[in-house]
């Protein structure tokens, strides 16, 4: 029993302690809650004050911007108002001036009206006098006024016809004579103002050397260097007893120039062997292409021609190494350009357009495209392809009358070409036919499959054909030389005989790394 009482007392004590603990904990929580609420209210007040300050600052900024905007608008309005006021003053002045002029015009109109009335009155008096005189004449002559007028008109018509016909005949004769003289004057004046030296291109270039030792180095052991040079350039190299000189023979001026520049570099460098020769020839060929482009640009600058397509400029540069009947094509084209410009100025046409057409008139001769067309039509096609004006294209295509002349510049180019080519010593027919024959011979050989290069040398007495070793065998090379010889016999005319040499070279290349 006592134990039971003890247990109950312990349970009651624990419950009392628990109740006391819970009460104390609740009081602490309530105090913490009040503290948190006070802190939150304080932070809320601070945030509210910051927001108010920020809003005031933003308001002040917007107010400042608005005032600045308003000031700018007011300034613009004041300026507009000033302009309007100035215009208004100007209009008022003009209005006053018009009113003054109107008053002057009114007074002038009144004066003219008075003069008109005076003239009309005198005219009536004059008519009365004429009528009176006509009646007296009718009485004296015994015929009416109408009959007299009819007779007088017939006589005047006959006299006028006679005088008009005589005047027309005199005018036409004078026009024919003047036109002929004027045309001759323009042409003669143009020729005199563009008088330039004329030079005949030949097929041989002389390369100067210092001594015979260099000749031996150029020839090489058993002639291997000279053979490599001839194969790489397509130029016949003549080494004979001529002192201090080697002759480079080829009908193509570009090949001769490549050979000359290559020899010059090889002699200066001192290393002359087949591999070096091929390397130098390749390098010189690229340099010559750059020089051709530079020559075309310099020519256009000299003549004052701008905005030309780069491919046309390149074709102009190639003219330097091309001859037409022995006449240098670039010199001929420059001369034709100047002639056309002078004649256009005399006739009141655009000299720049005429000069452009004259410079481009022979570009068909230096193009590799569509060789079956005449060079004039091919030149017109190229000019049209590279966006030249229609009147220039027509002038190029019609300068040999192979196209209808629709441009006013076409006759100028035709006449300029004839003037330049007709100079004494300017052209030589023999060299042109010779070059055409050699070019046809090379084209004939190149048309065969497997042929990489072909060179006509020794004035067309030998044709060297280089074939690719991978596409032509030794047996096929032998048959190829026979086939080319047979075709040349059938299709071409030539003096003497032509030697066809087919060269097939096999190279094995490896690299050590």
Q: What digits encode the pLDDT tens for the residues 130-166?
A: 777 767 766 676 666 667 677 667 767 767 766 766 6
Contact 452, 224 (CB under 8 A): no
Evaluate if residue 370 carries a pLDDT over 60. no
Q: What digits encode the pLDDT tens for the residues 206-261?
A: 777 777 777 777 777 777 878 888 888 878 777 776 667 777 777 777 788 888 88
Strand partners, 463: 456, 500
Contact 313, 333 (CB under 8 A): no
Neighbours of 420 (CB within 10 A): 26
Name the nearest CA neighbour of 184 among 176, 195, 174: 176
- Looking at every residue in the chain, the average pLDDT score rounds to 79
Instruction: Give the lowest-confidence range in 103-112, 120-129, 216-225, 427-436.
Output: 427-436
Residues 6+ apart with CB under 8 A from 344: 350, 351, 353, 354, 355, 409, 412
Q: What digits encode the pLDDT tens for the residues 230-244?
A: 888 878 777 776 667
Neighbours of 458 (CB within 10 A): 13
Residues 6+ apart with CB under 8 A from 319: 328, 329, 330, 333, 362, 363, 365, 366
Judge residue 375's burial from the number of C-beta atoms within 10 Å of its C-beta, 0-12 exposed, 13-18 middle, 19 or more buried: buried
pTM of the full structure = 0.46
Angle (CA) 28-31-33 rounded to 5° is: 110
Residues 6+ apart with CB under 8 A from 321: 252, 253, 254, 257, 292
Judge residue 16's burial from the number of C-beta atoms within 10 Å of its C-beta, 0-12 exposed, 13-18 middle, 19 or more buried: exposed
Instruction: Give the lowest-confidence range in 301-305, 336-340, 368-372.
Output: 368-372
Token look-up 């042109």 returns 432
Neighbours of 113 (CB within 10 A): 10
As a whole number of angstroms, the distance between CA 406 and CA 395 comes to: 8
Evaluate if residue 458 carries a pLDDT over 80. no
Question: Confidence class of residue 112 from pLDDT cuts 50, 70 and 90?
Answer: confident
Please report, in angstroms and rounded to a whole number, the separation of the first and last CA atoms in the chain: 115
pLDDT number for residue 152:
64
As a whole number of angstroms, the distance between CA 61 and CA 76 comes to: 23
Q: Which two tokens stand for residue 269?
A: 């460098």
As a whole number of angstroms, the distance between CA 411 and CA 403 comes to: 12
Question: Confidence class of residue 184 from pLDDT cuts 50, 70 and 90?
Answer: low
Neighbours of 305 (CB within 10 A): 18
Query: Residues 192, 193, 194, 196: is their CA dihedral positive or negative?
Result: positive
């Amino acid at each position: 029993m006592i134990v039971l009482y003890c247990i109950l007392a312990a349970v009651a004590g624990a419950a009392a302690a628990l109740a006391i603990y819970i009460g104390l904990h609740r009081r602490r929580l309530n105090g913490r809650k009040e503290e948190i609420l006070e802190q939150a209210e304080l932070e809320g007040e601070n945030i509210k004050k910051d927001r108010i300050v920020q809003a005031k600052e933003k308001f002040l900024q917007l107010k400042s911007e608005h005032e600045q905007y308003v000031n700018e608008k007011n300034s613009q309005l004041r300026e507009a108002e000033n302009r309007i006021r100035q215009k208004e003053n100007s209009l008022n002045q003009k209005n006053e001036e018009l009113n003054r002029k109107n008053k002057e015009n009114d007074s002038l109109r009144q004066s003219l009206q008075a003069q008109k009335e005076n003239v009309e009155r005198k005219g009536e008096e004059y008519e009365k006098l004429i009528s009176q005189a006509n009646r007296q004449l009718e009485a004296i002559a015994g015929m009416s006024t109408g009959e007299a007028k009819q007779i007088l008109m017939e006589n005047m018509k006959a006299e006028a016809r006679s005088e008009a016909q005589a005047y027309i005949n005199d005018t036409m004769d004078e026009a024919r004579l003047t036109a002929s003289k004027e045309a001759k004057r323009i042409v003669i004046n143009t020729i005199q103002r563009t008088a330039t030296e004329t030079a005949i291109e030949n097929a041989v270039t002389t390369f100067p050397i210092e001594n015979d030792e260099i000749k031996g180095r150029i020839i090489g052991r058993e002639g291997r260097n000279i053979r490599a040079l001839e194969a790489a350039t397509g130029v016949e190299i003549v080494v004979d007893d001529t002192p201090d000189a080697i002759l480079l023979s080829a009908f193509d001026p570009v090949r001769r120039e490549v050979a000359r520049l290559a020899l010059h570099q090889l002699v200066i460098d001192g290393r002359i062997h087949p591999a070096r020769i091929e390397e130098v020839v390749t390098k010189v060929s690229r340099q010559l292409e750059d020089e051709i482009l530079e020559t075309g640009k310099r020519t256009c600058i000299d003549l004052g021609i701008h905005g030309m397509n780069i491919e046309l400029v390149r074709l102009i540069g190639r003219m330097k190494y091309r001859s037409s009947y022995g006449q240098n094509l670039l010199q001929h084209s420059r001369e034709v350009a100047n002639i056309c410009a002078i004649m256009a100025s005399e006739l009141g046409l655009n000299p720049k357009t005429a000069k452009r057409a004259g410079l481009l008139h022979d570009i068909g001769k230096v193009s590799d495209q569509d060789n079956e067309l005449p060079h004039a039509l091919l030149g017109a096609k190229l000019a049209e392809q590279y966006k030249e004006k229609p009147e220039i294209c027509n002038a190029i295509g019609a300068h040999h009358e192979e196209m209808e002349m629709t441009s006013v510049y076409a006759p100028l180019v035709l006449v300029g070409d004839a003037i330049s080519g007709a100079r004494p010593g300017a052209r030589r027919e023999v060299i042109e036919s010779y070059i055409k024959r050699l070019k046809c011979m090379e084209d004939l050989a190149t048309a065969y499959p497997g042929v990489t290069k072909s060179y006509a040398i020794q004035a067309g007495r030998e044709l060297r054909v280089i074939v690719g070793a991978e596409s032509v065998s030794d047996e096929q090379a032998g048959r190829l030389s026979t086939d080319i010889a047979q075709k040349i016999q059938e299709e071409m005319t030539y003096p003497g005989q032509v030697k066809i040499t087919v060269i097939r070279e096999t190279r094995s290349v490896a690299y050590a790394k």
